[in-house]
Amino acid sequence: MKAQEHIDFQRIAEAIDFMRQHFTRQPELAEVAEQVHLSPYHFQRMFTEWAGTSPKKFLQYVSIQHAKKMLKEEQATLFDASMETGLSGTGRLHDLFVNIEGMTPGEYKNGGAHLSINYSFAESPFGNILVASTSKGICYMAFADDGAKALEDLQQHFPNAQYRQMLDLAQQNALYIFTHDWSKLHEIKLHLKGTDFQLKVWETLLKIPMGKLTTYGNIAQKIDRPKASRAVGTAIGDNPVAFLIPCHRVIQSTGLLGGYHWGTARKTAMIGWEATRLFEDMRI
């Protein structure tokens, strides 16, 4: 990400965080703009270019009341239906992820020995991102505010693997998700290192449709472990593939957004960004 684009996203993230903290009084445009040291005019233009909607409308999407409303309306039967069917239509994700292939026990234990991993850095609406793949699929995706630290974290996941900085077809297909050009998406396969429990949780996350939210308790129910909400939360926190496995769509049962490995402001931005695009799809 170019330096200016990084600064712009940081300002947007700060603005979103401010709106999230003060949503109950619906702050005016000028107040939010002042927080990020911009004129109302320049902030409105920058934000609208990034989100595709005005700051005022975006605030409505990401407020805690919006989250509570979604949960209240999402009765168990609707939740089951959305989890099973996803969203249909040419402009939406549907049956995108064919499967999750777990590492073999040997690959799991030996830290990725004999694995060849390609990795590259790319831009996203939410900041720089690091994406990595094996010959079987995407194995890692993380926001990379610090590129060197992000690469170090990847190497800690697979300390014995062979690494090459190269953008391959699997990574390109995965990154199309940020362009909203679903017509270019092919089957995205994931090659993940995790326990059976973790893989089951991550697979369940993949079935949450864009623009929908669910809770840790609902995920626990879905995998037939109704008393395992805490363990589910841990597995979600260990998600190695940012955004593609949408752990940002899981919130607390109270309606609070809860934490996020890559920052609550970024989680809020993702929820609002998806909501605006879903709204635009429905208008078409």
Burial of 2 (0-12, 13-18, 19+ CB in 10 A): exposed
> Is residue 139 among the annotated active site residues?
no
Token pair listed for 228: 């395992």
Select which of 247, 257, 275, 278 is catalytic. Answer: 247
Q: What are phi and psi of 257, to 5 degrees?
A: -65, -35
Q: Is 189 left (phi over 0), alpha (psi -120 to 50) or beta?
A: beta
Q: Which residues are catalytic?
A: 247
